[in-house]
Homo-oligomer: A and B are copies of this chain.
Amino acid sequence: MMTTHTGHTDAIAASRVIGTEVYNTAGEHIGTIEDVMLEKSSNGIMFAVIGFGGFLGIGEKFHAIPWSVLDYEKDRGGYVVPYTKEQLKAAPAYSINELAGKDGEKARDASYAYYQVDPYW
């Protein structure tokens, strides 16, 4: 998922990312990409928002997953993340409001620290 040596990159539409299923490397279904959080004032993709649980959206909690760990697997028709269910269950989780605006940065920082992903910023 790193930029290639030549710097070339493919473009993917946010509208196509949203709604895509997410699995882990063990093949377990983790959730669905509910949204992608973008930096307002610079050019970074902050994280993908993955929903897990809640009933009809009530009390639903969300994970902030670093964009760079999402690996699209064509055969599975979804993204794969290299985490166990236990790791994901113990990860920081947020209401949707806690992921937007000024709070989004806090969620981003906590997520990158938890998953030990190098900051892009």
Interface residues of A (CB under 8 A from B): 1-4, 7-15, 17-18, 35-46, 49, 67-68, 72, 99-105, 107-108, 120-121
Contact = CB atoms under 8 A, between A and B. Distances in A.
Contacts of A46: 9, 11
A46 B44 CA distance: 9
A103 B101 CA distance: 32
A38 B39 CA distance: 12
A9 B108 CA distance: 11
Contact of A120 (B43, B68, B99): B43
B45 A43 contact: yes
Contacts of A42: 2-3, 9, 68
A89 to B, nearest CB: 24
B35 A45 contact: no
Given A9-B121, A12-B40, A43-B68, 11 more contacts: A2-B42, A7-B121, A9-B44, A9-B105, A10-B100, A12-B39, A13-B35, A13-B36, A14-B18, A44-B44, A45-B45
